[in-house]
Amino acid sequence: MSEQDWVLHVDLDQFIAAVEVARRPELRGRPVVVGGAGDPTRRAVVATASYEARAFGVHSGMPLKLAARKCPDAVFLPTDPPAYEAVSARVMAALRELPAEVEVIGWDEAFLGVRTTDPEAFAARVRAAVAERTGLSCSVGVGDNKLRAKLATGFAKPAGVYRLTRDNWVAVMAERPVTALWGVGGRTAAKLAELDIRTVADLARADPAALATRFGPATGPHLRDLALGAGDPTVRGTPRVARSRSRETTFQQDLTSADEIRTQVRLLARRVAEDVRAEGRPAVRVAVKVRFAPFRTTTRGVPLPAPATDAAAIEDGALTALAGLDLDRAVRLLGVRAEFG
């Protein structure tokens, strides 16, 4: 068999929980939930849950209080971003020692571009390198483009390897719901259902003009391309550069005063500005995230008049974004995000 180009998607299994268990081996095999300050009596959401906790229905983004009700025997731990960043750096360093282009796309995942006759054997080599360097387990999706490699990883989990290419795309994906596609969430699926499009096969057969009318001239055809398995085959071996810096706070008591909300947004904006200055790049856009009681979340962003790193400009941008939101309900969470150009 001759060599050919492949895209591998490497995804660390239950990454944050795995890092915590590695630091506390006595927790191995127990349900572990990481989020907030690690106190399920306080307002915060699940950052990640171990597979043992997921068996009880606990998942990322769930309120810690609900996670505790679903899995009362779980061990709750606070998040520790510096620890996760350090382990992630070791993983990516291990991947870069392999004969592959490495495109980092998050703490716990990366695309690899490789030329080989046996992508599964290379994937096994990847898994061994990560385990040797960090003790962590990863899953690897093998594809002929990034979309298929990314989706293949879902079939590989946990701790496996799976190939998804043009050859088996229809057999594997056709009858799956549209939400099985990378980037298609519940809201998009609901809009597609209005067009009687529910499966990947339905979307692949859909009229591009009808999709463009419903979703716009760019998004509509893009959705059909996803259903056909089309994707970028090129892995760009460049260091990961942060696209934004953000801070958010969950309040133990709902905020009901507009002045109080503005004060908290100012404080968050100042903290974000410190992060922006540390990054050494100016922000070009600022967004505010508001989670109303009980759990409705909305986000609004505005461009800055000019790229900026100073607190005053970022604070003004955050307040401008906030002014565009209707603060007619109690607020349980606020966040500010500064985006780089």
Catalytic residues: 109
Residue 326 tokens, joined: 């209707």
From CA 309, how far away is CA 318, in angstroms rounded? 13
H or E stretch at 70: helix 64-70
Contacts of 248 by beta carbon, 8 Å cutoff, 6+ apart: 268, 289, 333, 334, 335, 336
From CA 299, how far away is CA 204, in angstroms rounded? 31
Which among 165, 201, 158, 169 has a CA at the least distance from the CA of 50? 158
Contact between 64 and 39 under an 8 Å Cβ cutoff? The reply is yes
Strand pairing report for 32-34 and 75-77 = parallel
Q: What are phi and psi of 191, to 5 degrees?
A: -65, -40
Number of Cα atoms under 13 Å in the Cβ half of residue 328: 3
